[in-house]
Structure 1
């Protein structure tokens, strides 16, 4: 049986967050990542799952970006 290199074995968790911005989807995504980074350590990947807008009186009032964030479990 071949020995495994423990340094290449990792486990990641994926969680979903939604960021909002009055300016753009990009700002909404940045807000989500920056906020999540305050409580989640070792963030690795942010995948955009969905983008939408909030509309009031026929005008876009808020951009929303839904992200799946992955972070590494610590042992």
Structure 2
């Protein structure tokens, strides 16, 4: 097994559906232009409230990208 090096970036995804969907939106969009996404960590969750209900979710992630050998 070889040692790996990772670069960490921060992303914020948003969704009207759920916090899980906001995570998926962020990772899906990032995967279109970034290679070697290996892990994520949720660092912040927030949302907007309208008429007493959650109207929109925003989730901020740290994302680890493995640097090519």
Larger RCO: 1 or 2 (CA < 8 Å, sep 6+): 2
Structure 1: 5+ residue runs without aligned partners? 1-6
TM-score by length of 2: 0.88
In 2: Cα distance, 1:58 partner to 1:45 partner: 34
Structure 2: 5+ residue runs without aligned partners? none
Instruction: Answer 1 or 2: which has greater strand percent.
Output: 2
TM-score by length of 1: 0.81
Runs of 4+ in 1 over 2 A off after TM superposition: 55-60
Alignment of 1:52-71 (within 5 A): 52-56=46-50, 58-71=52-65
In 2: Cα distance, 1:58 partner to 1:20 partner: 19
Deviation of residue 58 (structure 1)?
4.5
What SS is found at the alignment partner of 2:9?
strand
Deviation of residue 57 (structure 1)?
5.2
- Which has the greater radius of gyration? 1
Pick one of 8, 18, 34 that aligns with 2:12. 18
Deviation of residue 56 (structure 1)?
3.9
